[in-house]
């Protein structure tokens, strides 16, 4: 028996008993991070190379600390991002939102499309767009200084073509010099109402930044409303907006983009689990 695989099996049992949702995957990811290999390579780690720090990571995960904070990395589409305390950990469902934006940009009859990512956090969406829609120029906006530091590190490391510009600014006033020129605005804003506090997993509410979770207002959609106003200001006629929401907010977010504000083709779109996940809209010509 390979020692590391045996220890992973023991760790899986401990994490399962602690109520971790994906105990085997988390144990393997912790082992891979500690030993400097990919999960598919764990079987090749010799017994003599076993690093006991693996059990430190298991204990932290057992206590409810997010896996990504322990390993210092998160995977998003084709990226490996540096994350940690102070920045929102990107979720798999957001990959679908970014994918829609990338497909839309590829289909645009625009030589160098201009994109704004409001609330970039780790830089996951902005960097994915820059990587997968290589003609796009992306302005990433983040208002939290701690998250801004994480985004800075990821952009410096991963944006080798210099397509992403990062701005420390508030969503509502950012990038006034780009008003009326942007082809696509995308955002994964905070949207959870405080009334849902007790239903949010403890490791999320205890470790993700509060400003990245709680959207404000009785319905949690105040930040989404800010995105709507900013997108309306930034977009050129015919430009698109995409904004993420919870799987229970689709209808409410749909009406944040009313026709009287100039929005056309408003659609609620679903994630890979067939749940409402994000709204898209096009700004009509004046």
Mean pLDDT of 222-243: 97
> Is the pLDDT score of 48 beyond 90?
no
Q: For domain 85-283, give the CATH superfamily.
A: Vaccinia Virus protein VP39 (3.40.50.150)
Mean pLDDT of 223-227: 96
Query: So which residues are the catalytic ones?
Result: 88, 188-189
In angstroms, the CA 161 to CA 53 distance is: 37
In angstroms, the CA 128 to CA 34 distance is: 26
Q: What is the pLDDT of residue 1?
A: 59
> Is the pLDDT score of 200 beyond 70?
no
> Is the pLDDT score of 62 beyond 70?
yes
Residues 6+ apart with CB under 8 A from 281: 240, 241, 257, 263, 264, 265, 266, 267
Binding annotation for substrate: 188-191
Q: What is the pLDDT of residue 8?
A: 94
Q: What is the pLDDT of residue 210?
A: 78
CB burial of residue 65 (10 Å; 0-12, 13-18, 19+) = middle
Q: What is the pLDDT of residue 198?
A: 66
Mean of pLDDT over the chain: 92
> Is the pLDDT score of 262 beyond 80?
yes
Mean pLDDT of 8-26: 94
Binding annotation for S-adenosyl-L-methionine: 119-123, 142, 171, 188
Mean pLDDT of 103-112: 93
Q: What is the pLDDT of residue 166?
A: 98
> Is the pLDDT score of 18 beyond 80?
yes
Query: What percent of the chain clears pLDDT 70, i.e. is strictly above it?
Result: 97
């Amino acid at each position: 028996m390979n020692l590391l695989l045996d220890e992973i099996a023991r760790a899986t049992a401990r994490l399962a008993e602690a109520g971790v949702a994906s105990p085997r995957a988390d144990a393997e990811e912790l082992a891979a991070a500690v030993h400097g290999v990919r999960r598919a390579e764990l079987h090749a780690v010799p017994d003599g190379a076993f690093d006991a720090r693996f059990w430190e990571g298991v204990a932290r995960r057992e206590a409810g600390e997010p896996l990504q904070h322990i390993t210092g990395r998160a995977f998003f589409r084709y990226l490996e991002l540096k994350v940690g305390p102070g920045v929102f950990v990107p979720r798999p469902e957001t990959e679908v939102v970014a994918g829609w934006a990338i497909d839309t940009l590829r289909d645009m009859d625009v030589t160098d499309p201009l994109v704004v990512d409001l609330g970039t956090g780790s830089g996951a969406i902005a960097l994915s767009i820059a990587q997968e829609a290589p003609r796009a120029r992306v302005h990433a906006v983040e208002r939290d200084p701690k998250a801004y530091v994480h985004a800075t590190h990821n952009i410096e490391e991963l944006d080798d073509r210099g397509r992403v510009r990062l701005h420390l600014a508030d969503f509502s006033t950012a990038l006034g010099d780009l008003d009326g020129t942007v082809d696509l605005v995308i955002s994964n804003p905070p949207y959870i109402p405080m009334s849902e506090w007790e239903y949010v997993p403890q490791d999320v509410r205890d470790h993700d930044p509060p400003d990245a979770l709680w959207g404000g207002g009785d319905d949690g959609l105040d930040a989404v409303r800010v995105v709507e106003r900013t997108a309306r200001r930034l977009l050129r006629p015919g430009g698109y907006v995409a904004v993420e929401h919870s799987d229970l907010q689709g209808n409410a977010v749909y009406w944040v983009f009313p026709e009287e504000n100039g929005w056309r083709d408003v659609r609620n779109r679903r994630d890979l689990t067939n749940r409402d996940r994000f709204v898209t809209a096009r700004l009509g010509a004046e």
